[in-house]
Amino acid sequence: MSEYARYLDDSQRSFARPRTLAQWLHLDLVLLLPLCLIMVLGLFVLFSASDGDWSTVSRQLRNFVVGWGVLLVVAQVRIDTIQRWSPALYFFALGLLLMVLMFGVGAKGAQRWLSLGIIRFQPSEVMKVAMPLAVAYWVVRYGLPPRLGVTVVSLLIIGLPAVVIGLQPDLGTALLVAASGVSVIFMAGISWWQIMAGMLTALAALWPAWLFILRDYQKQRILTLFDPEADKLGAGWNIIQSKTAIGSGGWSGKGWLQGTQSHLDFLPESQTDFIIAVLAEEWGFRGVLCLLALYGLVVARGFWISLTAQSTYGRLLASAITLTFCVYVVVNMGMVAGLLPVVGVPLPFVSFGGTAIVTLMLGFGILTAISTEKRIISQ
Amino acid sequence: MAGPLDAMRDTRREWSINRARLIACLIGILMLMAVLVYRYYSLQIIQHDAFLTQSDRNRIRVEVIPPTRGQIVDRKGRLLATNQPTYVVGVIAERATDLPSLLEDLQQRLALTEDELEAFREGIAQRRPFETVPIKVGLNEQAVATVAVDLHQLPGVVVEAQLTRHYPFADVLSHVLGYVGRISLEDLQALEADHYRGTLHTGKVGLEKRYESVLHGRPGYQHVETNAHGRLLRVLEKQPPQPGQDLRLHLDLDLQQIAAEALGTQRGAVVALDPLNGGVLAMVSNPSYDANLFVEGISYRAYATLRNSMDTPLLNRAVQGQYPPGSTVKPLLALGGLSRDFITTETTVRDPGWYRIPGDDRRYRDWTLRVRGGGHAERVDMRMAIAESCDTYYYDLAYRMGIDTMADVLEPFGLGRPTGVDTTAEQGGILPSTRWKREAMGEAWFPGETLSAGIGQGYMLATPMQLAQATMVLANRGTSFVPSIVHRVGDMTVGGVPREPLKMHEEDWRAVIEGMVDVVHGQRGTAASISKGITYQMAGKTGTSQVIGIAQDAIYEEEKVSERNRNHGLFIAFAPETKPRIVVVVLAENGGGSSAATPVARRVIDAWLNELSDV
């Protein structure tokens, strides 16, 4: 519990006693209601994307149930408890990542999974949650805005796991993990000249690497990443087909279950990373706008929570979680529409896949915890 | 839990920092969202039409349905050229679990050549995802079985059926039918590309080429919806193809086989015509080849063997082989002499066994000189001159007519230009004249050459088909038709085009034909040896044409001349004499003499009149 609550006596606390079930369960309905709608929408799109396969839909439903369970549990945890355990969680996640590097299970040419008897999971997902917690913990410890030394250490905290994940190799997750950490530093208020200097340093470091270290075929692969349509039958095939799916949807779409690109197998990864193309094809531009609006509501509420959070740590965390969520949406929709290179980033709560849902719900659990804590106190 | 600076914490300042950064973030996010929305707007609204077309093109494919090629049947409806299902084995690389080992497996099962493997690898490198790349074509049912039975164990392997041209009687019919082969770049320029989409073969020679336009048909189209793997899901719209029309020939398969059998291993040709309409009843050229080899592409080595063979099996001797007609022109010249009043049926010529142009010492020998000497008789008349093939008589006639008159009278019989029979690459022979020699050789005509021409030697050349057409004129006493192999295209009768009739006095026809009957039935006829047991009246004329020039006063001795330089044997005939139903020409290349040809004609006419003719 934060600073103020400590000084409240029992009688004052009774004022803060929850009056509704939602309050009692520490749930922020304004945040969670649009989330619910996105999930319902997502299930409809997934049903179509999987060609009406009920088992896929029910597995996704199970993922949602597990996600909600995680959220409910996390929502009950007090923010200062989370703050206290942040470093431990970070080092735990880092340890797991190193273990993956040494004895992980491979899939599709990359080592991402760690098998613990019955549970197989990606430690990088744990790091996605642990990263903002740890960076926030570190910068809050020395006060805002962070001094140069604190920033440098923060960059190390961010860089180490990001490099390890990048080695798996999983560029998309590495970027997302790094983004969640960087967003905390940004929120903490590092000066703009530091941001500029950081970007210039990164460029200065990459330029010689491009010139002298990378071989031609590696450069080619990176170029393909940025211009996939040059490789029409390989990486370009996916983008051409997804753009065709999106574009052919028009304003009102071809109708639910009527998408030809997705149902005739032209669209790759239509249940996971490219699912937005299915939505765009079948529900049209207005469907895309609806989904974006729902995401917008969630983001707006996230920022509101951040703005009104009682502790600096909570504020940093809330904005980092919201920003990361934003990055998911923008990167995924951008890459499917051919704006950004194709990196493996799922569309939150629409793409099929349990790990991403559980990770996201963990974040939203923290968000709702921050939100409701404040309320309990203020009332 | 508090950090070292906790005491100095300025919560209000921290809050304002956070707020400022949040606003910065919000602006950034709004900008990103705007970019996203614009991107989707651009794709879905601005470029919608283009992408809709693209997605339809993705899923809807216009498939060409190639027409089924018309079949060719003989006069009794027996299939001579047909379409047989053959199989193509292909590989979808995306479905194959282990391509290299699959290739090894297929190589064993299908005995793939290095060329086929090379072509396959090229195809694999250039394919679209999930496209089938053919690895072996033209397999029959037994050959494809080696793959088909284990198909479930060979993921990625597909077997497709297609129709391929097949000639069941290629041994005797290749020269008549010709063959189809893979469409070449050269062919494509001559063909209408739209009609040949989806078609792999086109007629190359013979009937297959001559009747390409009707045999081929018109392709149909269907719009089909396919998935990304190219699998056909449903047909949206269909316009069926127009199959090619069948050809029904005048040719009789049995007669063709009998003619080929009668010729045996003798190089040469047999042409049999129906004098009532010019229909080709049989057309044999020996040696022949197997047209089926050409359909899916003959190997270079096999083609070189055929092409370089001394026996020229690819040459259709019946229409492309040009030979001196020898004495077979004698009845024609006799008719010409009668019509131009150079002779009458009563005219006689003294025959000492040779002829000498007045004022010239050179002797032109009669063929009897090397056999018995002394000529045919003291005086020879026209009938005897035909029956016994008296050269002296024709030396005299030719000398008196002159070469240009000879050319004039032979021209109506069709010598010197192609008959127009419905096949390809027909040759027109040579009908020499002073003008011809001046134009072709730039030389003047010598009187001696007129005498050679009088017995069908020298420059004069004719194909067996031309001789058959000329014989038809004799058989019909003036009327004749352009020879035609095909009788009906689909339901439509073709051919039977009449030629300009040759008008002669009836007694002139009778006199010449009587001489020709004597050739076979007369005691001293040159083809008397085949008259044994004959049940009808046959009119004919033998011919022997020299391959090499014989020096003055030298005697042609068959044993001393190498096989390739031996004389060609010729025989033209028709029967029955009064109401002819068949005209036959036999050429025995280097057969030594006409006796190599006459029995063949007898066998063919016997078969036609006694067994096969439907009249």
Residue A275, token pair as written in the block: 């699912």
pLDDT surpasses 70 at B345 = yes
Interface test with B, best of A84, A135, A252, A264 (most B CBs within 10 A): A264
The closest of B132, B294, B213, B114 to B489, measured between CA atoms, is: B213
pLDDT surpasses 70 at A213 = no
Residue B539 vs residues B255, B454, B584: alpha-carbon distances, Å: 20, 21, 10
Whether residue A69 lies inside any domain: the answer is yes
Size of interface A-B (CB pairs under 8 A): 156
How far is residue B257's CA from residue B227's CA, in Å, rounded to a whole number? 53
Residue B182 confidence class, pLDDT cut points 50, 70, 90: confident
What value of ipTM does the predicted structure carry?
Answer: 0.89
Whether residue A28 lies inside any domain: the answer is no
Domain endpoint, select from B249, B280, B307 = B249
pLDDT surpasses 70 at A170 = yes
How far is residue A73's CA from residue A22's CA, in Å, rounded to a whole number? 13
Chain A contact set for B92 (CB, 8 A): none
Residue B213 vs residues A13, B69, B123, B176: alpha-carbon distances, Å: 99, 10, 32, 17
Let me know whether A238 and A364 are in one domain.
yes
Strands B247-249 and B72-73, bridge-based pairing: parallel
Whether residue A47 lies inside any domain: the answer is yes
Domain of B219: which CATH number? Answer: 3.90.1310.10
Domain endpoint, select from A195, A213, A231 = A213
The closest of B276, B85, B104 to B162, measured between CA atoms, is: B85
Domain that holds residue A176: 77-213
pLDDT value for B138:
77
DSSP E strands, A77-162: 105-107, 110-116, 119-121
Let me know whether A97 and A185 are in one domain.
yes
User: What is Dmax (Cα atoms) for chain B?
Assistant: 157
Cβ(B392)–Cβ(B351) below 8 Å = yes
Let me know whether B488 and B545 are in one domain.
yes
Q: In what order do the strands lie in the sheet with B539-545?
A: B279-286, B268-274, B582-588, B568-575, B539-545
Domain that holds residue B94: 64-249
Let me know whether B459 and B501 are in one domain.
yes
Let me know whether B283 and B233 are in one domain.
no
Comparing CB atoms, the residue among B14, B40, B50 nearest residue A337 is B40
DSSP secondary structure, B109-139, as one string? HHT--HHHHHHHHHHHHTPPTT-EEEEEEEE
Contact across the interface for A334 and B13, Cβ inside 8 Å = no
Neighbours of B158 (CB within 10 A): 16
Let me know whether A184 and A239 are in one domain.
no
Segment A352-379 shows an average pLDDT of 83
pLDDT surpasses 70 at B557 = no
Let me know whether A155 and A48 are in one domain.
no
Let me know whether B316 and B409 are in one domain.
yes
Let me know whether A301 and A334 are in one domain.
yes
Domain endpoint, select from B206, B228, B249 = B249
Chain B contact set for A250 (CB, 8 A): 44-45, 48, 52
How far is residue A241's CA from residue A269's CA, in Å, rounded to a whole number? 11
Let me know whether A92 and A45 are in one domain.
no
3-state secondary structure of A364: helix
Contacts of A127 (CB under 8 A, 6+ apart): A90, A93, A94, A96, A97, A161, A165, A177
Chain A, 164 to 183: residues with Cβ < 8 Å from chain B are 183
The closest of B176, B456, B57 to A260, measured between CA atoms, is: B57
Let me know whether B482 and B570 are in one domain.
yes
Indicate the length of chain B as a whole number.
615
Number of helices (H), then strands (E), belonging to chain B: the values are 22, 23
How far is residue B81's CA from residue B292's CA, in Å, rounded to a whole number? 10
pLDDT surpasses 50 at A10 = no
Interface test with B, best of A2, A239, A244 (most B CBs within 10 A): A244
pLDDT in tens, B427-476: 999 999 999 999 999 999 998 899 999 999 999 999 999 999 999 999 99
- CB-based burial, B504-542: b 16+ in 10 Å, e otherwise: beeebbebbbbbbbbbbbbeebbbbebbeeeeebbbbbb
Neighbours of B403 (CB within 10 A): 28
Let me know whether A60 and A105 are in one domain.
no
Beta bridge partners of B549: none
Let me know whether B167 and B271 are in one domain.
no
% of chain B with per-residue pLDDT over 90: 58
Tell whether omega for the bond before A169 is within 30 degrees of 0, i.e. cis. Answer: yes
How far is residue B310's CA from residue B303's CA, in Å, rounded to a whole number? 14
Residue A42, token pair as written in the block: 């997502």
pLDDT value for A376:
55
Q: Which of A104-113, B466-475, B586-595 has the lowest mean pLDDT?
A: A104-113
The closest of B590, B592, B573 to B259, measured between CA atoms, is: B573
Segment A97-125 shows an average pLDDT of 68
Comparing CB atoms, the residue among B21, B43, B45 nearest residue A187 is B21
Domain endpoint, select from B249, B275, B302 = B249
Let me know whether B158 and B305 are in one domain.
no
Let me know whether A197 and A269 are in one domain.
no
How far is residue B498's CA from residue B482's CA, in Å, rounded to a whole number? 6
Split into its structural domains, chain B has a count of 2
Q: Is A272 exposed, middle or buried (0-12, 13-18, 19+ CB in 10 A)?
A: middle
pLDDT value for A106:
58
The closest of B77, B583, B553 to B353, measured between CA atoms, is: B553
Let me know whether B393 and B440 are in one domain.
yes
Distance from CA of A138 to the nearest CA of B (A): 9
pLDDT surpasses 70 at A93 = yes
Domain endpoint, select from A213, A239, A265 = A213
Residue B366, token pair as written in the block: 């009669």
Whether residue A7 lies inside any domain: the answer is no
pLDDT surpasses 90 at B420 = yes
The closest of B333, B311, B337, B399 to B362, measured between CA atoms, is: B399
pLDDT surpasses 80 at B89 = yes
Let me know whether A310 and A241 are in one domain.
yes
Q: Mind telling me the catalytic residues of B?
A: 327
Beta bridge partners of B234: B225
pLDDT surpasses 90 at B411 = yes
Partner B contacted by A292 (CB < 8 A)? yes
pLDDT value for B548:
66
Chain A contact set for B44 (CB, 8 A): 246-247, 249-251, 280, 284-285, 288
Whether residue A12 lies inside any domain: the answer is no
pLDDT in tens, B151-168: 888 888 888 888 889 999
Segment B478-506 shows an average pLDDT of 93
3-state secondary structure of B47: coil
Comparing CB atoms, the residue among B5, B32, B58 nearest residue A266 is B58
3-state secondary structure of A204: helix
Partner B contacted by A280 (CB < 8 A)? yes
Question: Residue A349 — φ and ψ, nearest 5°?
Answer: 65, 5
Own/partner pairs, B402-405, CB within 8 angstroms, 24+ separation:
B402/B450, B403/B432, B403/B433, B403/B434, B403/B445, B403/B449, B403/B450, B403/B453, B404/B433, B404/B434, B404/B435, B405/B336, B405/B340
Whether residue A3 lies inside any domain: the answer is no
Whether residue A1 lies inside any domain: the answer is no
Contact across the interface for B128 and A233, Cβ inside 8 Å = yes
Strands B268-274 and B582-588, bridge-based pairing: antiparallel
How far is residue A361's CA from residue A340's CA, in Å, rounded to a whole number? 26
Cβ(B175)–Cβ(B206) below 8 Å = yes
pLDDT value for B1:
41
DSSP secondary structure code for residue B73 in this structure = E
**How many CA atoms does the CB half-sphere of A176 hold within 13 Å?**
32
Split into its structural domains, chain A has a count of 2
Chain A contact set for B41 (CB, 8 A): 285
Write a three-state SS string for B54-67.
Answer: HHHHHHEEEEEECC
pLDDT surpasses 70 at A270 = yes
pLDDT in tens, A277-317: 999 999 999 999 999 999 999 999 999 999 988 888 999 99
Four-point Cα dihedral B339, B344, B349, B355, nearest 10: -10
Whether residue B449 lies inside any domain: the answer is yes
Cα angle at B179 between B176 and B185, to 5 degrees?
140
**The residue to which tokens 């194709």 are assigned:** A342
Partner B contacted by A144 (CB < 8 A)? yes
Write a three-state SS string for B432-444.
Answer: CCHHHHHHHHCCC
Let me know whether A53 and A102 are in one domain.
no
Interface test with A, best of B12, B44, B45 (most A CBs within 10 A): B44
Residue A374 confidence class, pLDDT cut points 50, 70, 90: low
Chain B contact set for A308 (CB, 8 A): none
How far is residue A115's CA from residue A112's CA, in Å, rounded to a whole number? 10
pLDDT surpasses 80 at B5 = no
Residue B124 vs residues A175, B129, B130: alpha-carbon distances, Å: 36, 10, 10
Distance from CA of A114 to the nearest CA of B (A): 27
Partner B contacted by A304 (CB < 8 A)? no
pTM of the complete model beyond 0.80: no
Whether residue A43 lies inside any domain: the answer is yes
Residue B539, token pair as written in the block: 């009119």
Let me know whether A303 and A289 are in one domain.
yes
- CB-based burial, B277-313: b 16+ in 10 Å, e otherwise: bbbbbbbbbbbbbbbbbbbbebeeeeeeebeeeeebb
Distance from CA of A310 to the nearest CA of B (A): 9
How far is residue B231's CA from residue B225's CA, in Å, rounded to a whole number? 8
Let me know whether B242 and B262 are in one domain.
no
Neighbours of A113 (CB within 10 A): 17
For A335, the closest chain B residue by CA position comes to B36
Partner B contacted by A244 (CB < 8 A)? yes
Let me know whether B260 and B224 are in one domain.
no
Cβ(B592)–Cβ(B558) below 8 Å = yes
Domain endpoint, select from A180, A213, A246 = A213
Contact across the interface for B4 and A141, Cβ inside 8 Å = yes
Whether residue B280 lies inside any domain: the answer is yes
DSSP secondary structure, B208-256, as one string? HHHTHHHHHEE-EEEEEEE-TT--EEEEEEEE--EEPPPEEES--HHHH
Chain B contact set for A247 (CB, 8 A): 43-44, 47-48, 50-52, 54-55
pLDDT value for B140:
80
Distance from CA of A79 to the nearest CA of B (A): 12
Partner B contacted by A247 (CB < 8 A)? yes
Let me know whether B229 and B287 are in one domain.
no
Let me know whether B320 and B415 are in one domain.
yes
Let me know whether A203 and A226 are in one domain.
no
Strands B279-286 and B132-139, bridge-based pairing: unpaired
Question: Residue A150 — φ and ψ, nearest 5°?
Answer: -65, -40
How far is residue B173's CA from residue B182's CA, in Å, rounded to a whole number? 20
